[in-house]
A and B are shown apart, each in its own frame.
Chain A
Amino acid sequence: MVNLEELKKEASQILKEGKVKYIIGFQRGSNGLLPVPAFIKNPKDVEKLVWDPTCVYNLTLFLQDEKRKKTKEKEPDERPVGIVVKGCDSRAINVLLQEEFIKRDDVYVLGVSCENTGVLDEKKLAKKLKGKKAKKVEFGANDDFVITTEDGNIKIAAQEVLAERCLECKAHFPVIYDVLIGEKTKRNVENPFKSLEKIESLPPEERWKFWKEQIEKCIRCYACRSVCPMCYCDECVADTINFVVTPDTSAEEKAQKIKWLEKSPVSSENFVYHFVRAIHLAGRCIDCGECERVCPLDIPVRFLNKKLEKEAKELFDYDVGFDPDKPSLVSSFKDDDPEDFIR
């Protein structure tokens, strides 16, 4: 069982010892059930830290800001940043290490175990509670969640309210950490790609109908991109809005910008954007599910990434985020990679 006090103690100690610059963790927000990110510098503030099934966010996203900030500083503080990660988030750390976006010394990883369960799907819970409002959700003792409502506590089997991705999780405890809080649990997941079956089993034209309907909804707010810890490019090839212009940028370079797709949020252009996003995350997405959670139009974008995760596994036996020393999916090959699709 994750002992929150243990986490606080560890956090407080590393802050006191000056081992880390600050700690990125979860704290209670002022509104709603979900927590908010906490950036803790003062050892006294560690009391704010929480760890419960509502901690859905992948905090490694904030390593991007940290890196950008650091590159701008003249004499940057070279100490690592402490960061609270779940199993899935820890795989993001591995991918970021693999891509040399961060170095191992840049982070002090406070790993927390998901205790054989995972995190919450807010919508599933709301359905379950039928209008009642949850105030607090905690890990229970028997793979269940203890939910505090105005009418008192109820226990719900975790399976019923877990986020979809947690049902297919490959790592219930962090795969990389400096300290591990909680147990190294291992839950058997029979088919880590089960959720795809529904779409995959549709006849092609039905599948097209499904995706067209979904992708057409997209308003290209790019929330999925903003929330993704892997989308750390300074400029997105799908949309040059962020194009970094420095004093070195020549007029020619500016003219060299390619418009691979139009900005207008119509189906054809949306598809290019989502294709690029999916293909660029192939072998990099660790299925933290944040893209889908933040989508204001409930587009199941996770299913695009998940599909390529599945293909990577089935075609190339590639698992994402377990070994930071391995070359990436698309920068490696095997002599006997499948080629039955090639004429």
Chain B
Amino acid sequence: MKRTGVFVCHCGINIAGTVDVKKVSEELSKHSGVVHAEDYIYACSDPGQNIIIDAIKEKKLDNVVIACCSPNLHETTFRNAAKTAGLNEFQCEIANIREQCSWVHKDMEKATDKAIKLTRSAVQRVRRNEPLEPISVPVTRRALVIGGGIAGIQSALDLANTGFEVILVEREPSIGGHMIQLSETFPTLDCSQCIMTPKMVEVSKHPKIKLMTYSEVQEISGYVGNFKVKILKKPTYVYADKCTLCDECTKVCPVAVPDEFNLGLTARRAIYIPFPQAIPATFTLDIKNCPGLLPIACGKCTDVCEPGAIDYDMKPEIVEEEVGAIIVATGYDLYEKELLTEYGYGKYPDVLDGLQFERLLSASGPTMGKVLRPSDHKEPKEVVFIQCAGSRDPELHCAYCSKICCMYTAKHAMLYKHHVPDGQAYIFYIDIRSGGKDYEEFVQRAVEDDGVLYLRGKVSKVFEDKGKIKVWGVDTLAGKDIEIDADMVVLATAMRPSKGADELARKLKIAMDKDGFLAEAHPKLKPLESVTSGMFLAGAAQAPKDIPEAVAQASGAAGKAISILSQERLYHAPTVAEVNVNLCTGCGMCVQVCPYDSLSLKDGKVEVNEVLCEGCGTCSATCLRAAIQVKNMTPLQVNEMIKAALGG
């Protein structure tokens, strides 16, 4: 018979105030196999731990149960104590009699009875725990960063500057993301391109960074420390090393399509460079819009390309890489035009979204920094900005707050006034959320120095009327209906997870939240980690955030990745699935349900890849033959725990 010790913690009066700890200890001492039971005021204190260690040694205990607070708090403490006394860490289990008992009940008798059952249940479990050692695996000391916006760039640079090799994958022809599209940035009004391009150049020149633009992650397998990644390199049909950027090709290309970089405010050719400072600095042939790769169909660009940089025969390529950690920085997109029709967005050319307005403000933009209406190129004298366009609207659109819109709208209005001093800017808002260093002061500047008119209320209708855009709204502070004959309307459109992020999340096996943003492992304590170990989140892919926050998270994620890559070996929890081959019939149902592909069939029996297994136990509930179970949480243990819980 195994010898069990039980230690009941008072936690001052936190437990002892509602649970009769003496009685718990007394009752447990009568439990079969329990050879030692005592209570102590603070089991987690040094003397408390010493009591446990001494008892293990003196009473030759095989296992111990500590009835105390939640295992999330002191499980490690007590397991380490058990280890010090010569036990395996799994020979120590916690009965949570504080969060799940003393703190939530008042009736001492009933709470004590429940604490006894909880502790007995833990005793029944620990007696059947196997001693296990962590599983150790070597680490591939390279990282993959997915997404080449500011977050991805920051993570890649931090990793590379620490000395680790980085593969930076970006699906567009150039890195830079949305930040490179911005004009100036709040609250300092730094020119976005001026602070972004040095980082982009640093990426392109960094010896430790392998930049893969126009590429997408296709497949991922493996586990923390050892991922295998297949990356699809889409053909650009242009050799970057041969291209001299002479721009002759775009002069002959007969195609004109909306330019993504200027959000459709201008057009581009089928062969194009996204913007002058693009990294890598080369042209890309957009096959979807090219009349045909056969010289018969067009072929004009190859004819004029003197260095012969254009190759119609370029094929997609699959590159395989091995990495130890992955940072996902896939960023955001704006809420789809089609879903936000109430403000005339997509219908009237002078109703713009925030990013389009950024391009109008930008010195390198389609109007060379002049604010002009897309419809007639006239200077707008009355501009209405509508905040929360698609955000904070659980009935029709996104329930969440897109967080950055209050600030950038203030910036937009301010910059508009700098461009058109005799114009008037109106902002419809629900609340102004300006938490952040110097943010509130910035909003005040817009109001006080630049005379931006803030109207608290919602816009009910936007429609075209005699060359103007009529905006009907309400000022709830004044209690008045408002009607503005605007020349331009700018929507602070909601931020959404970038298109395709859901598909990528499924490939990576990381979770998404209800809005499709990538889910962090813990909302407070693990904001950088995804639910899959070894994969970290950076930037707006996780939630709407502004540049400083995205950069901070990116550096944090890089730090987290470095904490993996700097190890020789990694350790993995050994509470993994095990197969009873005698009972396995090889039906493969467990293989189908395993979220981690850790199970496979070999010779008609299931095999566990212990490094991939996270021990969730879905396999064991699926198996009809009880042929697979998770170590230290076996059906036998659960059965005993149920018995104890019901007082049997």
Considering only residues 62-117 of chain A, those with a C-beta below 8 Å from chain B are: 99-101
Say yes or no for B287: interface residue by CB 8 A criterion. no
Scan B566-605; emit 1 where CB is below 8 A from any A CB, else 0: 0000000000000011110111111011000000010010
Q: Which of chain A's residues has its CB closest to B639's CB?
A: A258
Assess the A332–B592 pair: CB atoms within 8 A.
yes
Assess the B624–A331 pair: CB atoms within 8 A.
no
Assess the A280–B624 pair: CB atoms within 8 A.
yes
Say yes or no for A253: interface residue by CB 8 A criterion. yes
Q: How many residues on the B side are at the interface (Cβ–Cβ under 8 A)?
A: 22
Which of the residues A101, A235, A249, A331 comes within 8 Å of B622, measured between beta carbons? A331
Which of the residues B582, B626, B635 comes within 8 Å of A244, measured between beta carbons? B582
Say yes or no for B636: interface residue by CB 8 A criterion. yes
A59 vs chain B, min Cβ distance (A):
20
Please, which residues of chain A bring their CB within 8 A of the CB of B586?
100
Say yes or no for A330: interface residue by CB 8 A criterion. yes
Binding site secondary structure of chain B = loop
Assess the A244–B585 pair: CB atoms within 8 A.
no
Please report the C-alpha to C-alpha distance between residue A244 and residue B584 in the assembled complex, in whole angstroms: 11
Assess the B593–A331 pair: CB atoms within 8 A.
yes
Please report the C-alpha to C-alpha distance between residue A99 and residue B626 in the assembled complex, in whole angstroms: 16
Assess the A248–B582 pair: CB atoms within 8 A.
yes
Residues A100 and B604 in contact in the complex (CB < 8 Å), given A234-B585, A237-B626, A244-B583: yes
Assess the B582–A330 pair: CB atoms within 8 A.
no
Residues A99 and B588 in contact in the complex (CB < 8 Å), given A234-B583, A244-B583, A246-B582: yes
Assess the B625–A100 pair: CB atoms within 8 A.
no
Please report the C-alpha to C-alpha distance between residue A328 and residue B585 in the assembled complex, in whole angstroms: 15
Considering only residues 239-289 of chain A, those with a C-beta below 8 Å from chain B are: 244, 246, 248-249, 253, 256, 258, 260, 280
Q: How many residues on the A side are at the interface (Cβ–Cβ under 8 A)?
A: 22
Assess the A233–B624 pair: CB atoms within 8 A.
yes
Please, which residues of chain A bring their CB within 8 A of the CB of B585?
99, 101, 232-234
Please report the C-alpha to C-alpha distance between residue A331 and residue B595 in the assembled complex, in whole angstroms: 11
Q: Which of chain A's residues has its CB closest to B590's CB?
A: A331
Please, which residues of chain A bring their CB within 8 A of the CB of B634?
256
Say yes or no for A327: interface residue by CB 8 A criterion. yes
Binding site secondary structure of chain A = loop
Please report the C-alpha to C-alpha distance between residue A256 and residue B635 in the assembled complex, in whole angstroms: 9
Assess the B604–A233 pair: CB atoms within 8 A.
no
Please report the C-alpha to C-alpha distance between residue A107 and residue B634 in the assembled complex, in whole angstroms: 37
B578 vs chain A, min Cβ distance (A):
11
Please report the C-alpha to C-alpha distance between residue A232 and residue B587 in the assembled complex, in whole angstroms: 11
Assess the A256–B589 pair: CB atoms within 8 A.
no
Considering only residues 587-646 of chain B, those with a C-beta below 8 Å from chain A are: 587-590, 592-593, 601, 604, 622, 624-626, 634-636, 639
Assess the A253–B587 pair: CB atoms within 8 A.
no
Scan A309-327; emit 1 where CB is below 8 A from any B CB, else 0: 0000000000000000001
A243 vs chain B, min Cβ distance (A):
9
Please, which residues of chain A bring their CB within 8 A of the CB of B588?
99-100
Assess the B583–A328 pair: CB atoms within 8 A.
no
Please, which residues of chain B bring their CB within 8 A of the CB of A248?
581-582
Assess the A331–B589 pair: CB atoms within 8 A.
yes
Please report the C-alpha to C-alpha distance between residue A100 and residue B626 in the assembled complex, in whole angstroms: 17
Residues A233 and B583 in contact in the complex (CB < 8 Å), given A328-B589, A331-B592: yes
Assess the B639–A100 pair: CB atoms within 8 A.
no
Please, which residues of chain B bring their CB within 8 A of the CB of A234?
582-583, 585, 625
Assess the A258–B636 pair: CB atoms within 8 A.
yes
A24 vs chain B, min Cβ distance (A):
21
Which of the residues A246, A249, A256, A280 comes within 8 Å of B636, measured between beta carbons? A256
Please, which residues of chain A bring their CB within 8 A of the CB of B624?
233, 237, 280
Please report the C-alpha to C-alpha distance between residue A258 and residue B640 in the assembled complex, in whole angstroms: 9
B598 vs chain A, min Cβ distance (A):
15
Please, which residues of chain B bring their CB within 8 A of the CB of A246?
582
Please report the C-alpha to C-alpha distance between residue A237 and residue B582 in the assembled complex, in whole angstroms: 13
Please report the C-alpha to C-alpha distance between residue A235 and residue B635 in the assembled complex, in whole angstroms: 16
Q: Which of chain B's residues has its CB closest to A96's CB?
A: B587
Please report the C-alpha to C-alpha distance between residue A27 and residue B590 in the assembled complex, in whole angstroms: 40
A139 vs chain B, min Cβ distance (A):
36
Please report the C-alpha to C-alpha distance between residue A331 and residue B592 in the assembled complex, in whole angstroms: 6
Assess the A330–B589 pair: CB atoms within 8 A.
yes
Residues A235 and B636 in contact in the complex (CB < 8 Å), given A328-B592, A331-B622: no
A205 vs chain B, min Cβ distance (A):
25
Please report the C-alpha to C-alpha distance between residue A232 and residue B583 in the assembled complex, in whole angstroms: 11
A186 vs chain B, min Cβ distance (A):
31
Please report the C-alpha to C-alpha distance between residue A193 and residue B15 in the assembled complex, in whole angstroms: 55
Please, which residues of chain B bring their CB within 8 A of the CB of A249?
582
Please report the C-alpha to C-alpha distance between residue A280 and residue B626 in the assembled complex, in whole angstroms: 11
Q: Which of chain A's residues has its CB closest to B635's CB?
A: A258
Residues A253 and B639 in contact in the complex (CB < 8 Å), given A99-B585, A99-B588: no
Assess the A260–B639 pair: CB atoms within 8 A.
yes
B151 vs chain A, min Cβ distance (A):
29
B596 vs chain A, min Cβ distance (A):
15
Considering only residues 241-298 of chain B, those with a C-beta below 8 Å from chain A are: none
- 3 nearest A-B residue pairs (beta carbon): A99-B587, A331-B592, A331-B589
Can you list 14 A-B pairs, Cβ within 8 angstroms, ordered by A?
Answer: A99-B585, A99-B587, A99-B589, A100-B601, A101-B585, A234-B585, A235-B582, A235-B583, A235-B625, A237-B625, A256-B634, A258-B626, A327-B589, A327-B592
Interface set of A (CB-CB < 8 Å, partner B):
99-101, 232-235, 237, 244, 246, 248-249, 253, 256, 258, 260, 280, 327-328, 330-332
Interface set of B (CB-CB < 8 Å, partner A):
580-583, 585-590, 592-593, 601, 604, 622, 624-626, 634-636, 639
Known pairs A234-B582, A331-B592; list 8 more (Cβ under 8 Å): A99-B587, A237-B626, A253-B580, A253-B582, A327-B589, A328-B592, A330-B622, A332-B592
